[in-house]
Amino acid sequence: MEDAKSVATTGPVARNKKARYDYHLMDRFEAGMVLQGTEVKAIRAGRMNLTDSYARVEEGEVFLIDAHIGPYEQGNRENHEPKRKRKLLLNRREIKRIDGKTQPTGMTLVPTKAYFSSGKVKVEIALARGKHDYDKREDMRRDADQQAIQSYLR
Return the CATH architecture of domain 11-153: Beta Barrel (2.40)
> How high is the pLDDT of residue 5?
47
Give the whole-angstrom CA distance, residue 85 versus residue 47: 16
> How high is the pLDDT of residue 63?
95
* pLDDT tens-place string over residues 51-92: 889 999 999 899 999 998 888 877 777 777 788 899 999 999
Q: Provide mean pLDDT across the span 22-40.
A: 89
Q: Provide mean pLDDT across the span 140-147.
A: 83
Burial letters 5-33, b for 16+ CB under 10 A, else e: eeeeeeeebbbbeebbebbebeeebebeb
User: Is pTM, for the whole model, over 0.85?
Assistant: no
Name which residue leads in pLDDT, 78 or 145. 145
User: What are the strands, taking DSSP E only, across the chain?
Assistant: 14-15, 23-33, 48-49, 54-58, 61-65, 68-69, 86-89, 107-117, 120-130
Domain boundaries, the chain: 11-153
- Asked if residue 43 has pLDDT above 70, the reply is yes
Give the whole-angstrom CA distance, residue 37 versus residue 80: 8
pLDDT tier, 141 (very low <50, low <70, confident <90, very high otherwise): confident
- Asked if residue 94 has pLDDT above 60, the reply is yes
Give the whole-angstrom CA distance, residue 125 versus residue 108: 10
Residues 6 or more apart in contact with residue 28 via CB below 8 angstroms: 112, 124, 125, 126, 127
State which amino acid sits at residue 75: G
113: left (phi over 0), alpha (psi -120 to 50) or beta: beta
